């Protein structure tokens, strides 16, 4: 288990590396598809692998509720349970406990919360978070953190950060398995002073990787980037840097330029299921009437299974009929787009052409309007919480 920095772009901070895990070597920068419930929605593990992914993310919180850690432990871990031979990162559940679960009671000892599924009372501590993740057997596991809402005030964020530090230390002590890397999560909200404190404290403990948590929660992008950029300056060169919950194609390109190595987000798969498909010029909505008779694929330059085999008109028809195949084909397309993007990024860093690649990509790719984006994010968070 190690991270090898292969090359830093000679015109900036973008870098290429490799994360060596018991389930394969993963080239970075890497995007992890999200399979919270031990499945990347709509796809088989084989399809995820065929698209080009060697690592994915699953979620301790979700798996703890269903099917239960004991069931997966009975299979010797997640890899066998879900039939995935590649690398896995498990999130500790911190983010979900603070955003999804109900009735939280938090103390330094741990958190009592209610399952968003059946309301049952659960308790988790840093030590239990490690126990669970050891039983799940992921290649990279995360500390339990407290993730305050993005509009929390300085004092609240400071308390959450301090507790996150305490818990990180306890996670580190509880962690036994040599074949799992335990990453720390830097908190501190939108306050640069706290991000400094968090990065300094956690790096002093010495983890094999560092995540930046508590961002992409609805704050303006300007804030996301200033916090990310500032935090990275305090992270060691030789350890992987993971920006949690990002994201969109344009955000990935920006964050790579700042020196981020790892990403995860449900965005590409979630918007796919809503009919929003990535192209080099931006997202298109396949529901749009202009695709009703289009014989060409969604993106003529795309080599994905969907674009190689089906017309835009057929996809339009499937979405129009709410056919389940629509969701699969759109997911394959969007995950291929992101996988190809990561490949292009790595190539351009290795060739020292990342600067012009980034400029060219951002010139052609029209991102979703910021206002629309924040509105969508809000709606999605509300809809998700209403499901509880």
Q: Computed over its alpha carbons, how large is the radius of gyration of the chain? A: 20
Contact between 201 and its own copies by CB under 8 A: the answer reads no
Are the C-beta atoms of residues 92 and 136 closer than 8 Å to each other? no
Number of residues forming the site for its own copies (CB under 8 A): 35
Torsion of CA 92, 336, 368, 157, to 10 degrees: 10
Closer to its own copies by Cβ: residue 41 or 280 = 41
State the virtual CA torsion across 54, 130, 66, 39 in degrees, nearest 10.
0
Nearer to its own copies, 293 or 347 (CB): 293
Least separation in angstroms between residue 233's CB and its own copies is 41
Q: For residues 30-59, which are near its own copies according to CB under 8 A?
A: 37-39, 41-44, 46
Name which of residues 274 to 293 contact its own copies (CB under 8 A): 292-293
Q: Which residue number, 2 or 46, has a Cβ lying nearer to its own copies?
A: 46
Point out the catalytic residue in the list 91, 145, 251, 261: 91
Sign of the torsion angle spanned by Cα atoms 288, 294, 300, 305: positive
* Minimum distance, C-beta of residue 23 to its own copies, in the bound complex (Å): 17
Quote the CA–CA distance of 72 and 67 in Å, as a whole number: 7
284 and 265 Cβ atoms separated by less than 8 Å? no
Determine if 317 is a binding residue for its own copies (CB under 8 A).
Answer: yes
Query: Contacting its own copies (CB under 8 A), which of 320, 353, 368, 376?
Result: 320
Judged by CB under 8 A, the residue of 4, 66, 104, 220 near its own copies is 66
Report d(CA 310, CA 237) in Å as an integer: 44
Structure-token match 């992987």, residue found: 240
| Among residues 14, 19, 32, 82, the one that binds its own copies under rule CB under 8 A | 82
Which of these is catalytic: 139, 145, 261, 264?
Answer: 264
Q: Is 151 a catalytic residue?
A: no
323 binds its own copies (CB under 8 A): yes
User: Measured in whole angstroms, how far is the alpha carbon of residue 373 from the centre of its chain?
Assistant: 18
The number of angstroms, rounded, from the C-alpha of 118 to the middle of its chain's C-alpha atoms is 26
- Minimum separation from the CB atom of position 235 to its own copies (A): 36
| Active-site annotation holds for 264 | yes
Q: In this chain, which stretch among 68-76, 102-110, 171-179, 282-290 interacts with its own copies, using CB under 8 A?
A: 68-76
In the complex, the smallest distance separating the C-beta of residue 93 from its own copies, rounded to whole angstroms, is 16
From candidates 51, 140, 142, 327, binder to its own copies by CB under 8 A: 327
- Is 116 an interacting residue with respect to its own copies (CB under 8 A)? no
Judged by CB under 8 A, the residue of 95, 314, 337, 354 near its own copies is 314
In 3D, which of 161, 173, 76, 195 has the Cα closest to residue 129? 173
Taking the complex as a whole, how short is the minimal distance between the CB of residue 271 and its own copies, in angstroms? 15
Determine, following the binding rule CB under 8 A, whether residue 328 of this chain makes contact with its own copies. Answer: yes
* Burial label, 303 (beta-carbon count in 10 A; 0-12, 13-18, 19+): exposed
d(CA 92, CA 144): 5
Range list of β-strands (E), the chain: 2-8, 15-21, 24-28, 30-33, 55-59, 87-91, 102-106, 111-114, 121-124, 140-142, 181-186, 210-212, 241-243, 262-265, 276-279, 282-285
DSSP conformation letters of 149-165: -TT--HHHHHHHHHHHH
Of 174 and 326, nearer to its own copies (C-beta) is: 326
C-alpha angle 14-203-188 in degrees, rounded to nearest 5 = 85
**Sole binder of its own copies in the list 11, 24, 52, 67 (CB under 8 A):** 67
The contact set with its own copies (CB under 8 A) reads 37-39, 41-44, 46, 66-67, 71, 74-75, 81-83, 292-293, 295, 309-311, 313-314, 316-318, 320-321, 323-325, 327-329
List active site positions. Answer: 91, 264
């Amino acid at each position: 288990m190690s991270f090898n920095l292969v090359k830093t772009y000679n015109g900036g901070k973008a870098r290429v590396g490799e994360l060596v895990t018991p389930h394969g070597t993963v080239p970075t920068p890497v995007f992890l598809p999200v399979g919270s419930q031990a499945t990347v929605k709509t796809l088989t593990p084989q399809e995820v692998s065929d698209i080009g992914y060697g690592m994915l993310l699953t979620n301790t919180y979700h798996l703890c509720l269903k099917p239960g850690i004991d069931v997966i432990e009975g299979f010797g871990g997640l890899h066998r349970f879900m039939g995935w031979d590649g690398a896995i990162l498990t999130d500790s559940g911190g983010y979900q406990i603070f955003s999804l679960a109900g009735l939280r009671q938090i103390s330094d000892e741990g958190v009592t919360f209610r399952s968003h599924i059946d309301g049952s009372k659960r308790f988790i501590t840093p030590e239990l978070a490690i126990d669970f993740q050891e039983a799940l057997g992921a290649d990279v596991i995360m500390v339990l953190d407290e993730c305050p809402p993005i509009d929390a005030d300085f004092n609240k964020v400071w308390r959450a950060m301090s507790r996150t530090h305490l818990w990180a230390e306890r996670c580190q002590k509880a962690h036994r398995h040599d074949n799992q890397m335990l990453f720390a999560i830097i908190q501190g909200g939108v306050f640069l002073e706290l991000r400094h404190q968090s990065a300094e404290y956690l790096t002093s403990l010495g983890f094999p990787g560092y995540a930046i948590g508590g961002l992409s929660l609805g704050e303006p992008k300007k804030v996301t980037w200033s916090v990310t950029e500032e935090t990275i300056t305090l992270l060691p060169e030789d350890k992987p840097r993971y920006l949690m919950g990002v994201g969109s194609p344009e955000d990935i390109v920006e964050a790579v330029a700042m020196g981020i190595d790892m990403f995860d987000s449900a965005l590409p798969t979630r918007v796919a299921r809503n009919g929003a498909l990535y192209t080099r010029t931006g997202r298109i909505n396949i529901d749009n009437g202009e695709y009703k008779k289009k014989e060409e694929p969604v993106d003529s330059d795309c080599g994905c299974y969907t674009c190689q085999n089906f017309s835009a008109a057929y996809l339009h028809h499937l979405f129009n009929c709410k056919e389940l195949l629509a969701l699969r084909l759109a997911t394959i397309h969007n995950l291929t787009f992101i996988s190809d993007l990561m490949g292009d990024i790595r190539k351009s860093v290795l060739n020292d052409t990342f600067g012009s690649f980034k400029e060219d990509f951002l010139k052609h790719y029209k991102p979703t309007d910021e206002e629309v984006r924040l509105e969508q994010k809000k709606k999605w968070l509300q809809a998700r919480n209403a499901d509880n």
